[in-house]
Amino acid sequence: MKAIQLQTKFLLTPYQSKIIKTLKVVGVVFLFYLLFFNFVTVNEVTLNHNMIDGTVQCDTIPGFKLSAPWVQVSKIDKRPVRVSVDCACRNLTSKLVAFNPKEYKSFVQKEGWAYYWLRNRVSFNMGNKQEWRGFDNVLRGYVFDQQKYKFIIYYE
């Protein structure tokens, strides 16, 4: 047993400094990626919140983006989504809606900036077919209101 431990220790010693250097480089690159990069797909828009001056900007151009670490980025899917009220009634309970990126300022004024994906992630509404989470849950809250909002595109 001691011979195996000595042999493994002997093999790791020459490579130990290279392994540590590689892990440090990988760690720095990963941290740089987490702090500075985001990726926007064709079907997404991002709301970029600058924590220093408090401004919010909408980015609709797809691709890799480089931003400062004090800029928080929240992604919103702009494809149409069916939102529903789960019930056993015979009434129309679903609507097809989408987020309107041109009116993002009215949305931020009404809802505020947040990581919308995190909304309602821990949910206890287990009995339904559909569990509403993230931005779909935010849309669902505004769609069934009597007022029509500019930041929602309603499909009839």
Neighbours of 51 (CB within 10 A): 12
pLDDT bin (cut points 50, 70, 90) of residue 37 is confident
**pLDDT tens figures, 22-31:** 889 999 988 8
Residue with tokens 């300022």: 105
**pLDDT tens figures, 86-100:** 777 777 678 899 999
Q: Based on the domain organization, do 30 and 84 belong to the same domain?
A: no
Domains held by the chain: number: 2
Is the residue at 59 inside a domain?
Answer: no
pLDDT higher than 90, residue 72: no
Least confident of 69-83, 94-108, 134-148: 134-148
Range list of H helices, the chain: 2-36, 104-111, 134-143
C-alpha 11: how far from its chain's center? Answer: 44
Q: Does the reported pTM lie above 0.75?
A: no
**Domain span including residue 13:** 2-36
DSSP assignment of 70-104? TEEEEEEE-S-EEEE---SSSS--EEEEEE-GGGH
Is the residue at 101 inside a domain?
Answer: yes
pLDDT higher than 90, residue 53: yes
